[in-house]
Amino acid sequence: MAIVIDGKLISQQIQEELALEVKTIKTNGGKTPHLAAILVGNDGASETYVGAKVKACEKIGFKSTLVRLSQDTTEQELLYIIKGLNADADIDGYIVQLPLPKHINEQHIIEAVDPKKDVDGFHPQSVGRMALNLPTYLPATPYGILQLLERYKIETVGKHCVVIGRSHIVGSPMSILMARNTNPGNCTVTMCHSRTANLKEFTLKADIIIVALGKPEFLTADMVKDGVVVIDVGITRVTSDSTKSGFKLLGDVKYDEVAAKSSFITPVPGGVGPMTIASLLVNTLKASKKEVYK
């Protein structure tokens, strides 16, 4: 039976470690790390995510600034705010919560963020530096997965890792990170996506499968070999009669049957999800300490 990877616990541990470090920094008269977040519009999910990030900052002793902008904010206005954050010496890092309203070009916004403050790791410079294994801010969700693999001491060297999904925020960076000459890393990586033919042929050979496609219970037991490590990134909200709220969250893995064949597996919720915030906070502390760019 699989060891269940407890992302909630690891995320809490990381946040406790960060809180201790911030306390020491403050005691020694150092600068309090400061994260800003820009939220455009009133998308419910985005409000929840940003709210959780701000709350996490407060809990561990970071400063946080939430810049709320209306849905009809223009691209020019947003670029002007970004210019201000780039120039603000007190702000160590900031994020622009995605998705943005349709009339704003996300790529223009991502590229306007000063790479030194790009704690989401989405700027092309950050992505390039990640691929080259140079110091940078790693994107939060893939970074969170690396931390889970590391803290659970899961062997990755020489393993065959199959990544399902090629989004810019999860699948693509994950495939790069697992192939790098680092630990965790040093895998032979197969990147699968919506146009992959005979996906099962690849997943059946995988030692590690990282699933990030957003299709509930897509990965089934017949697609995996015994002893596989399964990292489930998917989160889909589905209606449910069995919960008070009337909905529940499902991952991309048919959990019970795949867990029965796995050596390690992440649950949904409580697996990868909680790690995203922890990684963002780690990146913010790195920015504050000027660890990435001196």
* Binding residues vs ligand NAD (CB under 6 A): 141, 164-167, 169-171, 192-194, 196, 199, 212-215, 233-236, 272-273, 276
Cβ atoms of 38 and 78 closer than 8 Å: yes
Round to whole Å and give the CA distance between 208 and 185: 11
Looking at beta carbons only, is 116 or 248 nearer to ligand NAD?
Answer: 248
Q: What is the distance between the alpha carbons of residues 53 and 154, in angstroms, rounded to a whole number?
A: 28
Distance, CA of 94 to CA of 222 (rounded, Å): 43
Is 225 tagged catalytic?
no
Residue 215: CB minimum distance to ligand NAD, A: 6
Q: Which is nearer to ligand NAD, 50 or 170 (CB)?
A: 170
Distance from C-alpha of 139 to C-alpha of 233, rounded to nearest angstrom: 14
Could you say which DSSP state residue 117 is in?
G
Q: Integer distance in angstroms from the first to the last C-alpha of the chain?
A: 46
d(CA 67, CA 98): 14
Amino acid, single-letter form, for residue 11 = S
| Minimum distance, C-beta of residue 50 to ligand NAD, in the bound complex (Å) | 14
Q: Is 76 a catalytic residue?
A: no
Instruction: Find the shortest distance in angstroms from Cβ 255 to ligand NAD.
Output: 14
Amino acid identity at 168: H
Q: Please say which residue, 82 or 278, places its beta carbon nearer to ligand NAD.
A: 278
Pick the catalytic residue: 53, 117, 254, 286? 53
Distance CA 34, CA 94 (A): 8
SS3 call for 159: coil
Please give the backbone phi and psi of residue 163, each rounded to the nearest 5 degrees, phi first: -105, 125
Whole-number Å distance between alpha carbons of 203 and 262: 13
Residue number with CB closer to ligand NAD (193 or 289): 193
Place of tokens 């919960």: 243
Kindly name the residue from 6, 15, 92, 97 that is annotated as catalytic: 97
Among 6, 92, 118, 120, the active-site one is: 120
The SS3 of residue 254 is coil
- Tell the smallest beta-carbon distance from residue 67 to ligand NAD (Å): 22
Residue 240 beta carbon to ligand NAD: minimum distance, rounded to whole angstroms: 17
- How far apart are the C-alpha atoms of 216 and 195, rounded to whole Å? 18
The residue among 36 and 163 lying less far from ligand NAD, judged by its C-beta, is 163
Hey, which residues does 31 pair with through a beta bridge?
none
The yes-or-no answer on residue 120 being catalytic is yes
Provide, rounded to whole angstroms, the least separation between the CB of residue 71 and ligand NAD: 22
Nearer to ligand NAD, 25 or 221 (CB): 221
Catalytic residue annotation: 53, 97, 120
